[in-house]
Amino acid sequence: MEETLVKPIIAEELLQSLKAKTEEEKQVIVHCCFPASPSLGNLIRIWNTTYLIDNHSDHRSKLVHAENISLFPYWTPVPFMKDFWFTLIFTGLPKDCKSFDFQEVIPEEGGFYVKSIKRNSSDIYRIKISE
């Protein structure tokens, strides 16, 4: 017996709705390098009030996950004289975003800030940060 596969027909309105939801679910991955430092006892952390801020609108992509770094109020020790890498995942940027700032918005000095990161098609970035 031979089976015939029938392609389902999906209403155009549903396809458009799903397309919009797919756009909403896009994420931005930022691999961050905290450069090697000669100081002993260096600690690092990230606040959940870290954003990707579109340079041409008021959009802020929110931090949704941090890998290999502690979230405030906890600290992660940084190895002596070795670059320290961690990864942050943010909600998606607007489709028409061309560049954005990486900014840790915190109530004290020393928040991370990288200005005018040029947008790419993969939405995966490698940045170098410092205090």
- Tell me the β-bridge partners of 52: 61, 102
Most confident stretch, 2-6, 11-15, 19-23, 110-114? 110-114
Strand partners, 104: 50
Helix (H) or strand (E) holding 34: strand 27-34
Q: Which of 24, 28, 27, 22 is nearest to 117 (CA)?
A: 28
- Pairwise pLDDT comparison (82 vs 114), residue with the higher score: 114
pLDDT digits (tens, 9 = 90+) for 11-49: 777 666 655 554 556 899 999 999 887 776 688 999 999
Q: What are phi and psi of 37, to 5 degrees?
A: -135, 140
